[in-house]
Amino acid sequence: MEKFYATTAIDYVNGAPHIGHAYEKILTDVIVRHFSQRTDNAYMLTGTDEHGIKIQKTSAKINMNPKEFCDTNAQKFIDCWKLLDINYSQFIRTTDDYHKLTVQNIFKKLTEKGDIYKNSYTGLYCSGCEAFLAEKDLDEDGCCPVHKKKPEQISEENYFFKLTKYKDAILKHIKQNPDFIVPAFRANEVINQLENIEDISVSRAITSVNWGIKVLDDPSQVIYVWIDALSNYITALGYDINNPSEKFKTYWPADVQVIGKDILKFHSIYWLAILMALELPLPKHILAHGWITIDEAKMSKSLGNVVSPENVLKAYNLESPDAFRYYMATAAPVGRDGNYSDEDFKEKVNAHLANSMGNLLNRTLSMLVKYFDGEIKSEFIKESPLFSEAINTIKEVKHHFDYFEIQEASLKINELVDKANKFVTDNAPWTLAKEGKMEECGTVLYTILEIMCVISSLIYPYCPNIAKSMAKQLKYDINTKLDDIKINNIKTGKLTSKEEITPVFLRIDSELADKKK
């Protein structure tokens, strides 16, 4: 692969990051880390959306300057992603000067082209959605179905974008590229939304919203979210109307844009139309993930079940975020809703990371020290059917990631771990040692250690810290590209000692997990 460029939705800074925000960023980070094992040119963009009426009102309530309010809350997202080892390449804020300038120029270009025009408008506006809603979008009580509040009727003179002009081209693109929207079953949903599409308002009167990017040549108008926020995916790369940067030329179009299913319409219709109007290539894939429920209930401040990623790590005294990352990334099949519960979290990570994978490495290295003083002898090195299983697993994992099937890829990794555990049980190296069959015992241990090298590479996108710890104990280069992995990583000679062997992941709720005891 020449390059891989992935983006997340940019988070609105009206509140602190929660587990739903974390799910999307972890999912994207796992995808990008995997593709970084296939190219030297992987790039991940995330950031924050910082304009609009909600920011204006919330900051006013606490007597705070809107920019200072955004600075404070944007930092919460930056800190949270650092805590979760989200290895993004760039963090964009829509209050960044370069972004604001480019957005103004995009708006001006589309106006000059005739794709943006001014018109008077009366409509129902939901401040929670920051969007105009049609009567048919409301619930039976006349409320916004998301925020459960009645929208206010607003009459304004705004600028409009000719979305209808691009309706047929968008429809054609979706139908001709069945893998464009992931999962594929969501394509029909978008096609249905296209049927009744209308031109969209892309500005607000400054008398209604003053916290935003002003329209060049018309200071009475503020550029609305669709062009402001959606353009971040190209402004971050240095897109310029007349002279795009080398970075933009290298990375655009995006290979995948990861978003929540609730904003699929804006990314698969509005965003595509804007790109078509700018005569830019379209992203290769839009991945619409599902929601994360808490104990099977939708997250809600009123229910008091909003979960902070930081609190999960603190609650279980986790020194690294790997267990949480693994659990979230594998929470649901691609595009489906997932669920978080404390009991399931403990059970899953204990079973997969501590009991199956971590324990397999720990006991194999311990037996190598016990029986052979940590040394690999040349006579141990023999072919095994398990090696072809491991190489085949690499291919299967790559195939799943090509379709952004993150949970499914993890199941393939676990299958290899299970086969390796079964191999140990079936061949019982402890019995071979007792019977004096030392060469056979050594071959069993060598075979498992070779498999563990492959497993450390495959689990790296999900659990980078655990993978590095495994690789260090195996004296294996964790930076090996997937296509370059061979079964000859464990060399003859001294591999380890008793002092070098450490558990890569301790069971949650184990006495050993509390180092104070």
Catalytically active residues are 18, 21, 126, 129, 144, 147, 298, 301
User: According to DSSP H, which parts of 135-283 are helical?
Assistant: 167-176, 187-195, 225-230, 232-235, 246-251, 264-265, 271-277
Instruction: Please tell me the distance from the alpha carbon of residue 289 to that of residue 59, in angstroms, as a whole number.
Output: 31
Cβ atoms of 490 and 376 within 8 Å: the answer is yes
DSSP letters for 313-367: HHHTT-SSSHHHHHHHHTSSSTTS-EEE-HHHHHHHHIIIIIIIIIHHHHHHHHH
How many Cα atoms sit within 13 Å of 276 on the Cβ side?
21
Q: How far is C-alpha 71 from the chain's CA centre?
A: 23
Cβ atoms of 3 and 40 within 8 Å: the answer is no
Closest CA to 291 of 158, 146, 191, 401: 146
Structure-block tokens of residue 197: 């599409």
User: Can you say whether residue 321 is alpha, beta or left, with left for phi > 0 and alpha for psi between -120 and 50 degrees?
Assistant: alpha
Packing angle, helices 438-459 and 464-474, rounded to 10: 150
Instruction: Please tell me the distance from the alpha carbon of residue 162 to that of residue 115, in angstroms, as a whole number.
Output: 5
